[in-house]
Amino acid sequence: MTRVVFAFLALLLTVAGADPVTAQNRGRPGDFDLWVLSLSWSPSFCEATGNARGDAQCARPFAFVVHGLWPQYHRGWPSDCDARAAPPSRDQVRDMLDIMPSPGLIQHEWRKHGTCSGLSGEAYLRVIRKLFEKIAIPDQFKDLREPRMVSTREVEAAFVAANKGLDSDEIAVQCDNRRLQEVRICLKKDLSAFVSCGETERRACRLDRLYMPAVRGGAN
């Protein structure tokens, strides 16, 4: 099943007209080395800033949601590329709100990262959707009704166990000064397989213990 989904995504990139894999002109749409799919732990975002701002996301029982899909170089990343591709329509943005629960976030991610992908807005969101459906969220993190403490290794190991072909150097856990913030998963540019995160992993969380707030509706 994993190979089938990767093959579909690779075909989607080809049909969408993404540029060749080899990056030569930095900062141009389609010129990058790998993808990073960033999955945000919504309860941590809400506890840190979202609740105080009254974000609509924080009124719903979200667990892991998509923060973004980012074209990356082996060192650094492009952003805000001068793309001529059509941005996502309002309807296409609305259709993503079950996994990227803010129109503002989706539009920001398109402007900053999607414009560098070599894809149209519609194709970029389709790739995000397919990747989110492909990546298996570990069962213990799907509906966390009580807060818990975890280690970065525990989170990494859970995702590795749930996703065939994923290794520990192909995932990076992010945190603030005490909370789990994100899990970032790295993929080849043609989306044919997972790939070592390299610089992204080196910037990962180094705390021994992380706090995971409960999904909304759970214990306080």
Give residue 49's identity as a one-letter amino acid code: T
CATH number at residue 39: 3.90.730.10
Taking only the tens place, the pLDDT of each residue in 89-100 is: 999 999 999 999
Q: Find out whether 186 and 194 touch, Cβ atoms under 8 Å.
A: yes
Which whole number is the average pLDDT over 60-69? 97
Whether 220 maps to a domain, the answer reads no
Number of folded domains in the chain?
A: 1
Taking only the tens place, the pLDDT of each residue in 143-177 is: 899 999 999 999 999 999 999 999 999 999 999 99
- Give catalytic status of residue 67 as yes or no: yes
Whether 57 maps to a domain, the answer reads yes
Domain membership of residue 62 as a residue range: 2-212
Give residue 89's identity as a one-letter amino acid code: S
Whether 218 maps to a domain, the answer reads no
DSSP state of 113: T
- Give catalytic status of residue 109 as yes or no: yes
Whether 217 maps to a domain, the answer reads no
Catalytic residue chosen out of the listed positions 47, 74, 108, 109: 109
Q: Find out whether 23 and 34 touch, Cβ atoms under 8 Å.
A: no
Catalytic residue chosen out of the listed positions 74, 108, 113, 146: 113
Whether 135 maps to a domain, the answer reads yes
Whether 95 maps to a domain, the answer reads yes
Whether 219 maps to a domain, the answer reads no
